[in-house]
Structure 1
Amino acid sequence: MSLPADHPAPPQTLSVGLLLVVLVVAFEAMAVGTVLPRVAAEFHGLAWYGWASSAFLLASLFGAVASGLLADRRGLALGAGASLSVFAAGLLVAGLAPDMPTFVVGRFVQGLGAGGLGALPFAVITARYPEAARARMLAAVSSAWLVPALTGPLLASLIAETWSWRAVFWGLAPVLALVTPLCVGPLRTVNGPAPAAPEADQASDASGLWPALGLTVSAGAVVEGLRRADVPGLLLVVAGAVGMAFSARPLFPAGMLRLARGLPAALMLRGFAAFAVLGANTLLPLALHDLRGLTLTQAGSLLSVGGATWTLGSWIQAQLDRRGGPAGRPRRIRMGAALLTLGLGVTSAAVLGTLPLAWAYAGWCLTCLCMGVAYNANSLLALGSVPDSGAGRLSGQLANIEVLMVAVAAGVGGALVARLASLEAAFTLAFAVTLLGSLVPWVAATRLRPGA
């Protein structure tokens, strides 16, 4: 897909505003991963640990579809403003929560907004940036995670230890109030109200909200069922799995389960790579804290290492794209998928004590570096497969497959932690599941092709 030659370049303020929003969301993501063990300990809510991540992610799934629909029908400015407002409300609820269930509710509300914000960069880059600038802008979006990755865990742990973990949440709400005009204003200028779609098309688009809601509820049933060791729990898992199968069909292109060539394979690659790496990421701070005795700051430093090397990988991908063009993307994705499994295996072995702890940092560096290269290359292939009018829908698909798979991974890991008496056994099984998931991108990477 390419924009017309006379298409006006997006204003610089749009790029700045978009990057600032990503910066705030990235800081919150890195901070929550660091302080979540403290939250669970204060509320005596280790059994809810998986839900603290899954609720956020499942709500993000629905939020991504809703924001994509809103962007396609009413313009990116309205979608961005709504997502930012809901995200801020979730921060306040989580920060003021009196117990773990209320905290989970706050995470759910926060996720509704974050889903739209996660999809926003893809929609903006696809609809408003020429092909030559997309790789550079995607790398800039990834680099916006660098400062939060390096400072977020440290600042969050210091705030939690000297003041309260609650400030990590509600302290960002005023910042969002300042950042929002910088992002929404330029979008309103550049992207005016979208032309009205025919009534039949509007009805078809709106009907996508119901499958998204069904997928969110069904995946939530699976997560809750895994957490329970009784017959109702088993029934929830079965019903949720069936519901997911039916709800996913209208939301994603046909052929995903058989890894059909092109976009279906690209989406599955993204989903299972996220399942493996980001699923493990939700468990690393707790495993390092409870199994290896690290402080919150020390455990969070591993997340900092991952964020920095992921950013480095994204910039390497952009440079390779600039020098060699899009033709080398499939090859880079295949290599990244293979090395990703190797790095994840080394990290897991070190966290569990089979290897020295220092190997966890080496393995996580390799894992996240490969994710930075392969993830961005895969995203660019997907972005090239849709016309301008479908940018919002594709952004929802990219965000949905990612958050769905990470939510399932976090749910499985949280269920194992809740149900097994031995934390070492729980984390061993959880990391084994993520390693198995990392094998799927190996196959999907052989079935990619440049988008039409």
Structure 2
Amino acid sequence: MSVPSARSSASAPPHIPRALSAGLLLVVLVVAFESMAVGTVLPRVADDLRGLALYGWASSAFLLSSLFGAVVFGTFSDRRGPALGAALCLAVFALGLLVAGLAPSMFVFVLGRLVQGFGAGGLAALPFAVISTRFPEASRAPMLAALSGAWLLPALVGPLIASLIADAWSWRVVFWGLTPVLAVVAPLCVLPLRGGERRAPASADPPLLWPALGLTLAAGALVEGLRRPDALAVPLAVLGMGGILLASRPLFPAGMWRLAPGLPAGLMLRGWAAFGLLGMNTFLPLALHELRGLSLTQAGWLLSVGGATWTLGSWAQAALERRLGPASRPARIRLGMVGVCMGLLVTALAVLGHLPLWAAYAGWIVADFGMGVGYNSNSLLALSSVRPEASGRLSGQLANIEVLMTAVAAGTAGALLARVQPLDRAFTLAFLVTLLGSLVTWAAAGRLRGRGG
């Protein structure tokens, strides 16, 4: 995904476009609610549709298609204007919601998630492109902060509302219920974008559409290879791993996979942190339901607490940045990653029954708080390692590595749930894989001081 670099527009209005601001915030709220809600109801979906074998694909399909969708709609918006791009993103996202909500089988549900992700990828990239061209310089930072804060409410109430809806009516209502909201959001977001200048693609930018498609397909092949029990498993997995390495070359800085010092290590730290925490997040509600007997509402509480503490960690990071300055970023990153790894370990042990159930909540709080501190500090350090004109491309790289590694983690966990019996052993291995992945962040944190490229 290549996020358009920030450019000053000669025709930018001297005031904040309020209708557009409201539209963007509502778009983020809808996408954030869907993201937080679906993880909570997935256990009910898998049970109702008898689709545990495809459980991992429900998350991986969404994430991987969002990666490609961001590039496709970003390119389309540059050529045809942001209004048409936003309208298509909203339409595709709504179509995915309807397909998932009407799904008669888990395969069709995964297909709906694939369509959702394609639209959501474009919607996620839309604010960056719009803010850089439609908002005056002084209003951009406050608007970005407002968009980040828009995730707080869905993080707090999204899992709980979704679980209550699923318990009272059906998990399908979680998807259908968002489509009327999109009908309200669309005019607020699309109409203020009409009449904007069309920008031709910058000739200096490398063509990222085909590498992004290659990365998406390769990661999908890896996930499917891990899941399949037949003779195609190994060839698909090997093909997928090779494809990821090949497609990564034009999308990421050289040396990223071997933790080269500086920016490559910073990207890998973000990727493996997402692999650990966000990967565990994809199967944690199911584990709590199957192993500890929690209802969807009780499992939703845990995700809500995690979302809130991640936000608190981000605020704590900002306060430390103001008080201690940029020189403290490496120390904050290391401290945050220690919190992530220790919190994930305690959570896993509690869910597996080796610690009291309340320890799962304590561990998840520690992990998410550490993520809020370390993740944002790492982003600031990465942004400081590149020239201002390269910040847009770096934003895309940060988003891409997070999506890729989370999708691979979700797919790996789903493959273990599909292939390993009994179920408690499958969950044990899934927790182990995500924990080991999170430990890589410690090695990456030690290589951040090198000169970023």
Q: TM-score of the superposition, structure 1-length normalised? A: 0.89
Q: Distance in 1 between matches of 2:360 and 2:247?
A: 38
Where does structure 1 lack aligned partners over 5 or more consecutive residues? none
**Residue in structure 1 matched with residue 29 of structure 2 by the alignment:** 23
Matches within 5 A, 1:130-169: 138-169=144-175
Q: Distance in 2 between matches of 1:134 and 1:367?
A: 30
- Residues 54 and 414 in structure 2, CA contact (< 8 A), matched pair in contact too: yes
Where does structure 2 lack aligned partners over 5 or more consecutive residues? none
**Residue in structure 2 matched with residue 107 of structure 1 by the alignment:** 113
**Residue in structure 2 matched with residue 193 of structure 1 by the alignment:** 197
Deviations 1:47-70 (A, max 9, x none): 111111111111112112223434
Which AA in structure 2 matches 1:196? A
Q: Distance in 1 between matches of 2:416 and 2:443?
A: 28
Q: Per the alignment, do residues 240 and 336 of structure 1 end up closer, same or farther by CA in structure 2, a change over 3 Å counting?
A: same
- Residues 344 and 435 in structure 2, CA contact (< 8 A), matched pair in contact too: yes
Q: Tell me the CA shift for residue 194 of structure 1.
A: 4.3
Q: Per the alignment, do residues 445 and 131 of structure 1 end up closer, same or farther by CA in structure 2, a change over 3 Å counting?
A: farther
SS for the counterpart of 1:231 is coil
**Residue in structure 1 matched with residue 226 of structure 2 by the alignment:** 226
Matches within 5 A, 1:243-262: 243-262=243-262
- Residues 51 and 414 in structure 1, CA contact (< 8 A), matched pair in contact too: yes
Q: Tell me the CA shift for residue 305 of structure 1.
A: 0.6
Aligned counterpart for 1:42 among listed residues 38, 48, 57: 48
SS for the counterpart of 1:257 is coil
Deviations 1:69-116 (A, max 9, x none): 345555555544332222111111111111111111000000111122
Q: Per the alignment, do residues 77 and 17 of structure 1 end up closer, same or farther by CA in structure 2, a change over 3 Å counting?
A: same
Q: Per the alignment, do residues 322 and 223 of structure 1 end up closer, same or farther by CA in structure 2, a change over 3 Å counting?
A: same
- Residues 269 and 445 in structure 1, CA contact (< 8 A), matched pair in contact too: yes
- Residues 9 and 128 in structure 1, CA contact (< 8 A), matched pair in contact too: no
Q: Tell me the CA shift for residue 137 of structure 1.
A: 5.1
- Residues 69 and 393 in structure 1, CA contact (< 8 A), matched pair in contact too: no
Q: Tell me the CA shift for residue 143 of structure 1.
A: 2.7
Count of residues in correspondence between the two structures:
446
- Residues 78 and 200 in structure 2, CA contact (< 8 A), matched pair in contact too: no
Deviations 1:214-233 (A, max 9, x none): 11111111111111122211
Q: Tell me the CA shift for residue 41 of structure 1.
A: 0.7
Q: Per the alignment, do residues 317 and 141 of structure 1 end up closer, same or farther by CA in structure 2, a change over 3 Å counting?
A: farther
Q: Tell me the CA shift for residue 139 of structure 1.
A: 4.7
Deviations 1:131-189 (A, max 9, x none): 98777655533332222222222221222122221111121012112123333445557
Matches within 5 A, 1:296-315: 296-315=296-315
Q: Per the alignment, do residues 104 and 146 of structure 1 end up closer, same or farther by CA in structure 2, a change over 3 Å counting?
A: same
Q: Tell me the CA shift for residue 252 of structure 1.
A: 1.3
Q: Per the alignment, do residues 137 and 423 of structure 1 end up closer, same or farther by CA in structure 2, a change over 3 Å counting?
A: farther
- Quote the sequence identity (%): 68
Q: Distance in 2 between matches of 1:321 and 1:129?
A: 26
Q: Tell me the CA shift for residue 306 of structure 1.
A: 0.6
- Residues 288 and 294 in structure 2, CA contact (< 8 A), matched pair in contact too: yes
**Residue in structure 1 matched with residue 350 of structure 2 by the alignment:** 350
The alignment yields a C-alpha RMSD, in angstroms, of 2.9
Q: Distance in 2 between matches of 1:9 and 1:328?
A: 35
Which AA in structure 2 matches 1:29? S
Structure 1 range deviating more: 118-127 or 376-385: 118-127
Which AA in structure 2 matches 1:33? G
Matches within 5 A, 1:238-387: 238-384=238-384
Q: Per the alignment, do residues 242 and 154 of structure 1 end up closer, same or farther by CA in structure 2, a change over 3 Å counting?
A: same
Which AA in structure 1 matches 2:171? W
Deviations 1:9-32 (A, max 9, x none): 653444433322211111111211
Question: Do residues 91 (structure 1) and 132 (structure 2) align?
Answer: no
Q: Tell me the CA shift for residue 425 of structure 1.
A: 0.8
SS for the counterpart of 1:439 is helix
- Residues 72 and 391 in structure 1, CA contact (< 8 A), matched pair in contact too: no
Which AA in structure 1 matches 2:266? A
- Residues 287 and 351 in structure 1, CA contact (< 8 A), matched pair in contact too: yes
Question: Do residues 180 (structure 1) and 186 (structure 2) align?
Answer: yes
SS for the counterpart of 1:291 is helix
Q: TM-score of the superposition, structure 2-length normalised? A: 0.89
Q: Tell me the CA shift for residue 118 of structure 1.
A: 2.8
